[in-house]
Structure 1
Amino acid sequence: MTFQPDPVRPATTAAADTAQPERAELIAQAHQRSASYGLRPYESPDFCPVLQSELRTRIERSQSLFTYALPVMETLYDQIVNTQSMVILTDADGLILHSLGDDDFLARADKVALRAGAEWSEARRGTNAIGTALAENRATLVHGADHFLEANQFLTCSCMTILDPYGKTVGALDVTGDQRGFHKHTMALVRMSAQMIENQLFGNAFRDMVCVRFHSRAEFLGTLVEGIVSFTPGGRFLSANRSGQFQLGLSNGALQAHTFSSLFGLSMSQLFDAVREAQAGIVQLQLPSGVKVSARVEWKSTPASVPAGGADAGRAGTPGTAIAPRGLAAGPERPAGLDDLDTGDAQIRAVITKLRKVIGKDIPVMVLGETGTGKELMARAIHADSPRHTGPFIAVNCASIPENLIESELFGYEEGAFTGARKKGGIGKMLLANGGTLFLDEIGDMPLHLQGRLLRALQERAVSPLGSNKVIHIDVSVVCATNRNLRELVANGQFREDLYYRLNGLVVRLPALRERSDLDVVAGKLLRQGQAEAAAGEPPRIKESVMELFRRYRWPGNIRQLCNLLRTARLMAEGEAEITEDHLPDDFLDDLRERQGDAAVAATHVLPGGQPTRLAEVEALAIVATVKAHQGNISAAAKALGISRNTVYRKIEEARGLTRQAG
């Protein structure tokens, strides 16, 4: 099927899909296909989802889609929560990979096998939004009696296919709800969310290439409707997103015959010349249609040179002069931003998505997480991506400074303010952070008597050094971090409630390393960073059997522990191609053996039917018991257990499988 660029329409227009004359024809054709598959309207739905092992394999095959879609699904669900609905992600075959929804509606959806592991292709489920959208490769609304199977006619479903950066369908995003609660704007939300996923997939695929983001209206740059086109440094066309194809008036297939020069009438060197002189980084370009657009040019890699002759010269290998566009050329390495922390884990990406919405908005950020999860690294990334990035980043560890010195460290002091004070006094950390970011690490350990003064300084945006009557006004952005439960400290009178709510603007939680899905990527990144510091060429590989040990380990010290372990292992493996078990520290191996022994003891649990089970199965059953104790409230159970709603749902599915085996 040839892909035709799908124009990006505002919600009010997209919502009119229900009235489009061609809908009736689309549904009629879908019903004909359903009948040709041998389905009958009165049949019961197929209740045979794939095995959990197969589902994991399918998720791994769609890892990029899964990773980028999860935070978008969370945001979409926030917009439809409590509307008797659910958000669904499928792969290209219509297999449901993940879903989020209102608890009561999820129970109803489960009765028609609308759950992870079930396939909703037309061949399996007849006419339905997921299967029909994938068959037609277009946005599709299937409402009530439009469904081929009578059992599904209580549903209303809005679905949009998701394309990879090369125009291939890789999955679908769907919102399904009770047909009595149909809302005309749902399809617009689904379209926008699907495009958000596509744009993120696009940006990830071409992060080392030249990306031109453009629109005829400058205010639309940076929004979902901007066109994005990617080129090699020599100007050869690579791909364009849906909006880019629509604005250019050409499909990806037709664009393959073009270069940057043939599309925009400039060579690559002329483009970079324009970037050098651009105001606010925006250049003016002209499309083949004659329409003038505003554009931003991105190039994250640092090339040695760009051919002077533009695209054709680059492809012919003609030597050229080095081009150093402002903001694109080699120079001092910039501090790591949020993009640098995005290593594929869905939970981390969800955190980054939330942070991007508040950066630069004067909203304090609280980063929670176990020791060693990278809270300060996240704080530095927030600063690096903020409008204050040219200002100072000042970190204060409230747990490491002696209690009698923390006040002077934070607020500064005048000469003679206390015994041992330096001549000319000292500048406090809050003043040093003026114009930048103040990072208060381990805020839960700040002495109670100083919390009131900190609150006053933040509210009044002013500090008074110890021993001084001066009031110095400051302008700082505040990021806090702790591994302690501040709510519990407030309840126990150990942390001021008013300060808690002053700092509690956006709260994000960094997952423990053992909870992350990107352990391999994180380990490889840490290994390369350590090797770069040692300036000793390529780092050794991590043997797969070692990675398997890493996956089984609990990592009580999290990323900090992994970093230290790899530093030691790299030195032990110097001159060798692989890090093996022989290069690992003895204390790590001893700890691993002890934990395996503990797990073996715990594995003696027996199911009601007398069937022995593993520790993971005991965990699943315990989580089900917690859900029952909270009268089926998934959110309350997740909060009580300290895990995500998604984990609770997954463990419930595992427990159901165990029950079927035991029965």
Structure 2
Amino acid sequence: MRDDVHPVSPAAANRSKAWPAPAIQKAHERSETFGLRASFRPDYDILSDTGLALKREQNQVLCAHAMPVMETLREQIVNTQSMIVLTNAEGLILHSIGDDDFLHRAEKVALRPGANWAEDRQGTNAIGTSLAEGCAMVVHGDQHYLAANRFLTCSSVPILDPYGDLIGVLDVTGDHRSYHQHTMALAKMSVQMIENHLFSTAFRDVLQVSFHGRPEFLGTLMEGIIAFTDDGRFLSANRSAQFQLGLSLAALRAHTLSSLFQISYAQLIDRLTHGVAPHLMLNLHNGAVVCARGQFRRASFGLERGAVDVQGAAAPRPVCAKARQPAAGLSRLSDLDTGDARVSALIAKVRKVLGKDIPILITGETGTGKELLAQAIHNDSPRRDGPFIAVNCASIPESLIESELFGYEEGAFTGARRKGAIGRLMQANGGTLFLDEIGDMPYSLQVRLLRVLQERMVTPLGAMRSVPVDVSVICATHRNLREMIAQNQFREDLYYRINGLAVRLPALRERSDLAVVVQKMLQWESVESGGRQALSVAADVMAAFGRHAWPGNCRQLANLLRTAAAMVEENGVIRWEHLPDDFLEDVRGAGCGGDDAGQGDSGVSAVADVANADALATGEASVRDGARLQDVAASVVAMTLARYGGNVSAAARALGVSRNTIYRRMPAAQSQSGRSAEKD
């Protein structure tokens, strides 16, 4: 090092002793122990291109997840005389992006890829000091130990791997004259995004529980995420989860799913698979209640292939060999041909292109069964013995889609697969790749997918060579891709590449085969319950089904029937009282029928019929004689409530009606009871 550059006054040289921040003071003291002097200009030791390439390869997973986030951050701070830097755990700069003119200035102090910014090389600086302190650091202007670096203001945040180990630093550096206090907040949010992506990828094969005290924060950076083994043992938690639980990662390792959320592993999986609510409500170990959702790979539980993101509700999904195959399944095209003319015509078109390497694009509203159709196409094709790989482009974070589709080579990242990861394209080799919600694929990635579809070659992230793949591609979307093309949101060349045969699945309300679809779903549910009970739907309920709009289409119908099937009595007939309250409210609001829908006096009649039978059996014929129908209903409700000590559920079961019917008749029943008491 040289001592003849940037002479510094004694006062300036000793400023470190006056800084109020203890961390800065300690950093300056460490700098002195390293033998540095404030006036030194380091002899920068920059790695060769080969050496830098090796370091990037060793930190491949970190780079793959961080680079897209860095690009997003760059858009937020563009034209602010700044740059974004990514380092490894030793402070070596792996990548940097930013304003060109500032990048040129930064190169004068070796703030560039291949340079090391650890404290023993550069003295007090945000990168090296955040690594030394293990926390976020801002080092502004004269707080830098070396005078050469004092034109900088740097905000650095350590990046932790899914097990809590430090693996790198994200830094935003700018001119010290244009420092903004919000820069650190942006850096912290970016690191949180990187860490969450790393976490989701590392634990993709196990149960992940996401939670927050407020439902609107689910799916955001604020949600806590915890990973568990298939017997409920704790694996790891992200920073937000540690904060919400008030426990460190070390303390959490002593916990299990049951001790943290007051629910057993089997109970949680059952609620995730069969629930109908938009999210779960779970109790924390400290008594707080949080909203939660779960994500797990069903193959881990002997269910079916593919990752499932469940928010309290599970849609019927395509089945694979040796997995959840119902006797009346929907795994072949013939199974889906249930009598609707439009569906029959669609299936006829599809059969003509099977095995002809013609891509198929399935459109239709959400929940119409696009994935079921894709699975059936695969099962009837010459590729039926190959894999069927489904990728939901809308459910994977944007920065992870590339590694999910194309895979990545081996890296030295803690928690990542030691031999890298095979992407979904290569997993589908010899079979069918189903890209659901293709309209949600990032625009920047569409060109790479197009190249793969044209050349049938895949290049994993970090790889130096391409691998040939043989896949049949089926895409699906609920979006209007032509409108997206006009708005420059979807590539026209990719559209024509995936649109060999376009077919539209009609909405459930448009179909003429609702009764057959219901029957097949009930047969499926009967098999799922062990075949112990034949299921059917009461005529008035089925009539209301036919008039309902079904905004959630087949997915909504399947969830409703699953819930009803769990509540039916021994005769297996689904009636109004077996249906969820939210559906009854929708039906009632639309006037679709049923006692809970408020259709005429059907609820009164149901109670009155019981009243007549009950009166004859007990000799209380005066209940009927000369009484209005409403009064008869009120009387029998009052009598039944009294008989069951005011227990509404018991009274509803005894009368064979829903609790809502009882509640609606209770005021009249109470009034009727009062008049009877006065008469006595």
Give TM-score scaled by structure 1 length: 0.49
* Rg larger for: 2
Give TM-score scaled by structure 2 length: 0.48
